[in-house]
């Protein structure tokens, strides 16, 4: 009989204070920028319904299996990805690639934060600069009152009655109210929100190139309530404070911060949903979102590429966020409950945000008398949700300024929450590798340095390199994110299920959860067969699409001036290929290196490098406060190695399944 777990030392790594805070943190990410901003942007970019159904299909076949696998692996290893994947020597490269992806995710959300900050600062004006047509960037086609039946000034019979408005008197004496246009309606009207982005921010992306003009750029002719320079300082300080409180003591305070980071955004999302759905003809946008107009749209490689990247981003899989958070769970934790909460809330909140944005799109398509794909005047790409939100805010009940401040402040909070899992992945990787970093003082230093670096990148790089934030979307969303994540997910799935072993994996899951349902054959079939095949097909389809239609067919739509419309801008494709090459090289090099260092002949080397080893036998350190600490995985692997050395078969009866 194997030795009892209770006689071994308890895990010294800190854990989540309670399940509620852990679940709130997961919900906070489900409600984050991936759902609030990225899902609507990609849905509108890819024609609405085709993207939604491609996303739901890949979510079930790829997303859910990866969530259950990474939660199990993170909870089992009790370590950050580089150290956790060292259980199987040839897999350690997968962990290091996750660190690189975590850095990339931090930079990506930083680019989104930059433009989000511009909209937030513009909200401190009365009236809102994106609600009036009196600014220098507005054209004669800008109208605050839109409609396909608006009447131009000077029309015969048009008159204005005090307290009633503009109208035309009919022969029977009735007075028919009309909307007043500043030109003859021909379907080419634009709104203040559209022109604020299209004619102003899109051509002044690096507003800090000329700080003396930043107020005019963001506020226009409106009255300034808060100077943009002061607002930037306040936002940067707030971001530092929230990030520091969330990260300085492992996850002990992350969950507490999530009380605010999920409750306020949820209330705001409901408020926006109600207002957007009550706009005139909002149902037109919902039809565009859920009813495919052309079945051939499902054949576009870009639709499947973007749907896959959204699945992996929103679920925090393949870039270390989810597995790192799961590593702070206790060994005996029913992680299937955590997984169920995550996989239900992520698509739900994504669809809620998309419904809000497409409600605005439906309203604009009606009042402008255009198709939904032209409702935002050709504005697609990463900033289209911000334009839609600003359009809805300009039509809020009562004074729109407080609503705008609340909504964009909430989005700014979500941008802070979005980087927490990736940042924790980076910090945990350092503290798990270096025993000296277990000290709370050194962790604080690490947190401060990483936060300062991120803030410098967020708000410094776009000011130095014009349009760099927009081009970073192009770099990230064209090829880098989907291809790199597929390259990480494939070896992760295949090595865990085939090198670590399906039998050992299923038994380990039973040990952690005491749930026989998770030992069913459906999970090994998905992990070791169906999901890798679907990922491989997606990778081949993306490559074929790039070869046949060019890289520009896979790129997001950026405004004129930020990049050429017929091809990608100079540095982004080169940087994408370099980053993909680095990910591929790290995985392959690690496999070759670990096999070469193993002992024996060729078969013995392969067997040893792909055989699970107890974490306690390696030089890996946990980030607990004591010395000689053991990880969660040691509790299981110690018994497993004992059975392995005596050629015994491990069965469920050998495992303690209750604390």
Yes or no: say if 321 and 102 are a contact pair by the CB < 8 Å rule.
yes
The pLDDT score that the predictor gives to residue 621 is: 37
User: What is the average per-residue pLDDT within 176-199?
Assistant: 73
| pLDDT tens sequence across 210-224 | 666 778 888 888 888
Give CB contacts under 8 A, 24+ apart, made by 514-517: 514/332, 514/334, 514/657, 514/658, 515/334, 515/336, 517/336
The pLDDT score that the predictor gives to residue 462 is: 57
The pLDDT score that the predictor gives to residue 655 is: 43
The pLDDT score that the predictor gives to residue 188 is: 67
User: What is the average per-residue pLDDT within 76-99?
Assistant: 90
| pLDDT tens sequence across 325-338 | 999 998 888 999 99
Lowest mean pLDDT among 387-401, 460-474, 631-645: 631-645
User: What is the average per-residue pLDDT within 339-362?
Assistant: 94
The number of C-alpha atoms within 13 Å of 551 and in the hemisphere containing its C-beta is: 17
Yes or no: say if 136 and 221 are a contact pair by the CB < 8 Å rule.
yes
- Position 642 pLDDT exceeds 80: no
Name the phi and psi angles at 366, rounded to 5: -75, -50
The pLDDT score that the predictor gives to residue 466 is: 58
Name the phi and psi angles at 546, rounded to 5: -70, -35
**Rounded Cα distance, 119 and 388, in Å:** 12
- Position 427 pLDDT exceeds 70: yes
The pLDDT score that the predictor gives to residue 60 is: 96
| pLDDT tens sequence across 128-179 | 999 888 888 888 778 776 665 666 666 677 777 776 677 788 877 778 777 6
- Position 636 pLDDT exceeds 50: no
**Rounded Cα distance, 472 and 449, in Å:** 23
User: 307-316, 414-423, 463-472 — which one is most confidently predicted on average?
Assistant: 307-316
| pLDDT tens sequence across 595-604 | 988 888 888 8
Alpha helix (H) residue ranges in 87-160: 92-122
Lowest mean pLDDT among 91-95, 588-592, 608-612: 608-612
Q: How much of the chain, in percent, has pLDDT values that exceed 90?
A: 36
What is the pLDDT confidence band of residue 321, given thresholds at 50, 70 and 90?
very high
What is the pLDDT confidence band of residue 568, given thresholds at 50, 70 and 90?
low
Instruction: Tell me if the domain spanning 24-128+210-508+534-595 has CATH number 1.10.3470.
Output: no
The pLDDT score that the predictor gives to residue 303 is: 96
Copy the structure tokens of residue 408.
């964009």
User: What is the average per-residue pLDDT within 349-378?
Assistant: 90
User: What is the average per-residue pLDDT within 185-189?
Assistant: 58
The pLDDT score that the predictor gives to residue 114 is: 84
| pLDDT tens sequence across 4-61 | 333 344 345 678 988 899 999 998 888 888 999 999 999 999 999 999 999 999 999 9
Q: Provide the 3-class DSSP secondary structure of residue 207.
A: helix
CA distances from 630 to 205, 616, 638 (A): 50, 7, 10
Per the model's pLDDT, the better-predicted residue between 466 and 607 turns out to be 607
Alpha helix (H) residue ranges in 199-300: 214-219, 228-247, 254-277, 282-290
Copy the structure tokens of residue 505.
């994996």
Q: How much of the chain, in percent, has pLDDT values that exceed 70?
A: 81
- Position 580 pLDDT exceeds 90: yes
Domain boundaries, the chain: 24-128+210-508+534-595
């Amino acid at each position: 009989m194997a030795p009892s777990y209770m006689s071994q030392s308890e895990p010294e790594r800190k854990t989540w204070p309670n399940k509620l805070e852990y679940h709130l943190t997961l919900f906070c990410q489900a409600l984050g920028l991936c759902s609030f901003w990225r899902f609507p942007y990609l849905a509108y970019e890819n024609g609405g319904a085709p993207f939604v159904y491609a996303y739901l299909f890949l979510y079930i076949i790829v997303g859910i299996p990866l969530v259950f696998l990474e939660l199990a692996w993170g909870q089992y290893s009790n370590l950050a990805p580089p150290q956790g994947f060292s259980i199987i020597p040839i897999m350690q490269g997968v962990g290091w690639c996750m660190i690189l992806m975590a850095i990339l995710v931090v930079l990506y959300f930083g680019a989104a934060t930059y433009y989000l900050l511009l909209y937030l600062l513009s909200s401190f004006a009365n009236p809102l600069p994106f609600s009036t047509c009196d600014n220098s960037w507005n054209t004669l086609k800008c109208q605050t009152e839109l409609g396909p039946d608006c009447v131009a000034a000077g029309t015969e019979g048009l008159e204005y009655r005090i307290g009633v408005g503009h109208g035309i008197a009919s022969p029977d004496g009735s007075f028919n109210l009309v909307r007043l246009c500043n030109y003859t309606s021909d379907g080419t009207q634009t709104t203040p929100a559209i022109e604020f982005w299209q004619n102003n921010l899109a051509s002044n992306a690096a507003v800090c190139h000329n700080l003396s003009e930043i107020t005019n750029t963001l506020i226009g002719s409106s009255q300034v309530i808060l100077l943009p320079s002061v607002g930037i300082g306040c936002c940067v300080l707030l971001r530092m404070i929230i990030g520091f409180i969330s990260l300085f003591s492992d996850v002990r305070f992350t969950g507490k911060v999530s009380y605010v980071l999920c409750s306020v955004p949820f209330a705001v999302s409901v408020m926006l949903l109600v207002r957007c759905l009550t706009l005139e003809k909002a149902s037109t946008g919902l039809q565009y979102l859920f009813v495919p107009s052309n079945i051939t749209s499902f054949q576009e490689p870009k639709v499947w590429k973007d749907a896959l990247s959204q699945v992996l981003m929103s679920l925090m899989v393949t870039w270390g966020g989810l597995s790192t958070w799961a590593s702070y769970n206790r060994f005996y934790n029913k992680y299937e409950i955590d997984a169920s909460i995550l996989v239900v809330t992520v698509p739900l909140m994504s669809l809620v945000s998309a419904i809000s944005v497409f409600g605005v799109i439906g309203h604009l398509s009606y009042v402008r008398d255009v198709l939904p794909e032209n409702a935002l005047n050709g504005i697609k790409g990463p900033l289209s949700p911000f334009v839609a939100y600003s359009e809805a805010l300009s039509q809020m009940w009562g004074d729109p300024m407080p609503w705008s401040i609340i909504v964009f402040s909430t989005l700014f909070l979500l941008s802070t929450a979005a980087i927490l899992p990736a940042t924790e992945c980076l910090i945990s990787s350092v503290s798990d590798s270096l025993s000296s970093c277990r000290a709370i003082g050194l962790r604080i230093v690490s947190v401060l340095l990483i936060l300062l670096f991120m803030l410098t990148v967020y708000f410094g790089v776009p000011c130095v390199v014009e349009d760099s934030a927009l081009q970073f979307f192009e770099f990230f969303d064209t090829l880098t994110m989907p291809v790199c994540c597929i390259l990480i997910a494939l070896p992760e799935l295949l090595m865990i299920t085939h090198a670590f072993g399906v039998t050992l994996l299923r038994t380990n899951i039973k040990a952690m959860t005491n749930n026989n349902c998770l030992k069913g054959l459906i999970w090994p079939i998905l992990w070791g067969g169906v999901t890798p095949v679907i990922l491989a097909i997606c990778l081949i389809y993306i490559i074929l699409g790039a070869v046949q239609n060019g890289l520009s067919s896979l790129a997001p739509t950026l405004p004129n001036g930020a990049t050429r419309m017929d091809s990608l801008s100079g540095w982004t494709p080169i940087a994408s290929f370099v980053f993909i090459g680095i990910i591929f090289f790290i995985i392959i090099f690690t496999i070759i290196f670990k096999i070469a260092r193993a002992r024996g002949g060729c078969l013995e080397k392969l067997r040893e490098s792909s055989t699970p080893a107890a974490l306690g036998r390696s030089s890996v350190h946990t980030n607990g406060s004591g010395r000689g600490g053991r990880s969660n995985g040691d509790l299981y692997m110690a018994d497993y190695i004992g059975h392995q050395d005596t050629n015994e078969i491990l069965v469920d009866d050998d495992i303690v399944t209750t604390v």
